[in-house]
Structure 1
Amino acid sequence: MPRTLAQMRLGLFIQAAGHHASGWRYPGAQSGSENVELIVQLARQAEQAKFDLVFFGDKLVTSAGEHPSMVVRLEPLVLLGALAMVTERIGLAATASTTYSEPYTLARQFGSLDMLSKGRAAWNVVTTGYDSAANFSRATHPDHASRYAVAEEFVEVVRGLWDSFEDDAYVRDAHTGVYLDPAKMHRLDHAGAAFNVAGPLNLTRPPQGHPVLIQAGSSGPGMALAARIAEVVFTAQQSLADAQAFYRAIKAQAVAHGRAAEHCLVMPGLMPIIGATRSEAQARFDRLQQYNDLGAALGLVSERLGVDVSGFDLDQPLPPLPLPQNMLSRAQLLLELSHRDGLTLRQVAHLTAGARGHKIVVGTPAQVAEEMIAWFEGEAADGFNLMPAYVPEGLSLFTEGVLPILRRHGLFRDEYSGSTLREHLGLPRPANRHTVSR
């Protein structure tokens, strides 16, 4: 697929205890999911560096054995509403579930966030791999295929609701007394397999038309959904070859759905471990890994695979295991690393604690930049979702060391040229379906 982007896209995936499971233990690290001051600091730092967006994941269940950044966390849409007031240009993205939400509610929430931020909202569409039924008065957690079927309908309903009002529906003519042109307000009247939603949405059309849609599933159904609806695809690949294969596949599927390849941006997760020298960077990574609690790391692997691995041989590759219904793509990634690349369970556990299957690059700023450029120019990525191992230093080392190199190569912006997230990403503003139909 020929490259059309001249510059990388960059997101900052914020986890307030760092992305490495032991990042909070690193000397000088700050942490705390309730530490709003730290979160604001990171968002502003990313904006000063001209990142495209900041991103917050979410999870609807918890336990004491979770990754430290995930045991407790602020509700992401509420948090982004606050960040909209203390930032000006950077995009604001959050995860929200199509399995444990209602389309009307999410359409209002993300539409409102787009209003508050003047066009900077993005929704990471997830089907929720973790069984969360007990927290939502559900008897069972839906299987993988059912979740994705519901997700497709859910997104279509939300898009329809965002089009409830045409852009010029509000006349607001004090002289004539006409506030709203009722002919430009539209009911949805959706009746589907999973949802019945009348509409219209009680919200003016968002500034971006539709907030940007992100999707993070890399399984077959996840890629199929992304190809249809995603404008940004978050993914996890370890090797350049695997990333290139994913990139080609998702772009081809998007084109097959009548979409432009450059309107489906692929942004793998990336954890850079940076030092003034390669040995300093390696020492920093080794220190992080030494902090790992092997029992906790094995718990994370068990969670990903849906199988208790605590009794398996630590110094042998994982045995053949069936893929679980939940967290399918991440489970597949860990099994491939063990079976194809020969990683032992101990190595898989440390890798999972380190970046949960995402790419880790250990080196100098120049070496990290070189790897990013190789993936970008090799058509393996349109950009990256940065995952600092610990904060705030992990982010500072990147913005102060790597970004200047990318800029010298002309691969990242010096200043924002637009004000909305769509403008940052080079994405068109969707036309209102009712305007187009006339």
Structure 2
Amino acid sequence: MSQKTMLLSATLSNGYGVQGQAWRAPENHRSNFTDIDAQVKLAQAAERGKFAFLFAPDFPGAGEELASQAPVSTLDPIVTLSVLAHQTTRVGFIATGSTTFNEAYNLARQFKALDVLSRGRVGWNAVTTSAPNAVANYGERVRPREQRYERAHEMIQIVQALWGSWGEDAWVHDVETGQFLDMDQIQPINLGGKHVASRGPLAIPPSEQGQPVIASAGGGEYGLGLAGRYASVAVGSSTYDFDVTRREREMYRSAVRQAGREADELKYFTGFMPVMGATVEEAIGKRMQMDEHLAPQRVPVLGLMLGLSLDASQADEPLSAAQLERARANPNDPRSARALEIARQGWTPREILAHGVIDYAPSPVGPPEAIADYLQEAFEAGIADGFWLQQATYAVADEFVDEVVPILQRRGLYHRDYRGATLREHLGVPRQYGQDPRLN
């Protein structure tokens, strides 16, 4: 039996990186937000690294932070992925689509069309929408959580029914008889619930993987219930505490079993944001350069994490012995223990911040071997099936693929080539067409 190996994915965001100030990084062209070539380059790097997929978040709104930070997502996930699918042949794509402010037929059509055109490499991250400035764009108020998830279940069921409404052998296209379709296999679904309905059918044939993969990025009781019934991918929380992450993975697997599915039908991914350089000092220096304009305002936040009163004037002086003696990890902030560990090594507040301690994803720091060591430790600890690269700037993807991936391959922790051509094959999850007959 072959050794189990990890899966890798990466964020497809705004053309700059996941850090709000990444647009100011010297390696990024200022126009990357509207330059599809930046996204194509990332997709091709991910494919060179044999990544299972790129994950495209989406936020259909705007906030005050845009005065100094780029939007978190690409211009439009479906439009962007349509281009990237044409510029690649193997890497998969998972796009976010709201179940709250879309109609089932529209989502079913968009995602299945993209899945067919990409030859079976697409997934749908089915999410609910509750951010007030996004909700307002649809002329509504925030719906109660229970209602949002009730609608989400209806949406997924109807979308999957629409995906299966074109029979797998319906496309006859017999030139001699003139029969294009076997209409007995093209059937309306006539499904509806309290919130969503559709007659169908959807006039799109199956892709090489049948239909798109469902992904879930929601937590809590409602999110677990949704993932357990439908998802093949779960994007979970990111923490340095392996026990916490392992417990979350097991909660997802338990939810899958409770729904009557096999636990391994869902692959759990957790995020990481490497700070890379030839040495730890070089890596910290690169991150400090990018975060130069943010550090002063973040020093007080670091103080709260450590139970100290800190301000920008102290950014470049190591904490004193008295401060270190008083410092305590904030029990209400899971990042704080890591911040305290770094502080006790003698770094300045600016350098502590450059270790990524304020990020909501683990930030292994240093040369490629150190990044590989972190991933090996995390994988062998059983915290995840795969790891989601959250690159501070897009340049990290090339560096990671060229320098870290070969180390993981040499250690037998990562595959040397794709196992197939579709996203389901990359993930090792079963083919599906239409609704899952095991679910009632």
The answer (yes or no) to whether the contact 1:235–1:266 under 8 Å persists in 2 is yes
The match for 2:406 is 404
Q: Indicate the residue corresponding to 1:366 in structure 2.
A: 369
Q: How does the TM-score come out when normalised to structure 1?
A: 0.83
TM-score between both structures, scaled by the size of structure 2: 0.83
The equivalent of 1:38 in structure 2 is 38
Distance 1:355 1:181, change over 3 A: farther
Distance verdict in 2 for CA 1:403–1:388, change over 3 Å:
same
Aligned residue type for 1:21 = G
Partners of 2:130 and 2:359 in 1: CA distance? 15
Question: What are the equivalent positions in structure 2 for 1:26-425 lying under 5 Å apart?
Answer: 26-31=25-30, 32-66=32-66, 68-70=69-71, 73-131=74-132, 132-138=134-140, 140-238=141-239, 239-292=241-294, 315-316=303-304, 335-337=332-334, 357-392=360-395, 394-425=396-427
Write out per-residue CA displacement over residues 144-175 of structure 1, whole angstroms, 9 at most, x where no aligned residue.
22211211111111001000011101222233
Aligned to 1:12, which of 10, 13, 37? 10
Q: In the aligned structure 2, how far is the partner of 1:72 from the partner of 1:401?
A: 27
Please tell me whether the aligned partners of residues 77 and 94 of structure 1 are also in contact (alpha carbons under 8 angstroms): yes
More moved, 357-366 vs 285-294: 285-294
Quickly say closer, same or farther: Cα 1:416–1:253, change in 2 above 3 A: same
After superposition, the C-alpha distances for 1:364-384 in whole angstroms (9 at most, x for unaligned) are 211111111121121101111
Change in CA separation of 1:194 and 1:318 when aligned onto 2, cut-off 3 Å: farther
User: How many pairs align?
Assistant: 404
1:23 paired with 2:22, answer yes
- Is the CA contact (8 Å cut-off) linking 2:216 and 2:235 kept in structure 1? yes
- Give the AA of the match of 1:37: D
Task: Give the Cα separation in 1 of the matches to 2:301 and 2:423.
Answer: 47
Give the residue type in structure 1 aligned to 2:411.
Answer: H
Match of 1:329 in 2: none
Q: Deviations 1:216-258 (Å, cap 9, x if unpaired)?
A: 1122211221122111111222121111111111112212212
1:58 shift after superposition:
0.9
Structure 1 range deviating more: 125-134 or 419-428 = 125-134
Aligned partner of 2:346 in structure 1 is none
Contact 1:269 1:359 in 2 (8 A): yes
- Distance 1:433-1:25 versus aligned 2 partners, 3 A rule: closer
Give the structure, 1 or 2, with the largest relative contact order (CA under 8 Å, sep 6 or more). Answer: 1
Tell me: CA distance 1:73–1:90, structure 2 relative to 1, closer, same or farther (3 Å): closer
Query: Which residue in 1 is equivalent to 2:320?
Result: none
* SS of aligned partner of 2:173: strand
Moved more, 274-283 or 360-369: 274-283
Write the distance in 1 (CA, Å) between the matches of 2:399 and 2:339: 32
Deviates more, 1:425-434 or 1:80-89: 425-434
Structure 2, unpaired ranges of 5+: 308-329, 341-348
Structure 1 position 24, deviation (Å): 2.8
1:281 shift after superposition: 2.1
- The runs of 5 or more residues in structure 1 that have no matched partner are 299-311, 320-332
Q: Deviations over 1:119-168 (max 9, x none)?
A: 11111111123122221122x12122221121111111100100001110
CA distance in 2, matches of 1:353, 1:141: 33
Shift of 1:197: 1.1
SS at 2:176's partner residue? Answer: coil
Report the AA paired with residue 43 of structure 2: A
Task: Give, in whole Å, the separation in 2 of the partners of 1:287 and 1:227.
Answer: 42
Identical-residue share of aligned pairs (%): 32
Contact 2:237 2:270 in 1 (8 A): yes
Q: What is the RMSD of the two structures over their aligned residues, measured on CA atoms?
A: 3.2
What's 2:316 paired with? none
Distance 1:189 1:144 in 2: 27
- The higher radius of gyration belongs to 2
Counterpart contact for 1:369–1:406, Cα < 8 Å: yes
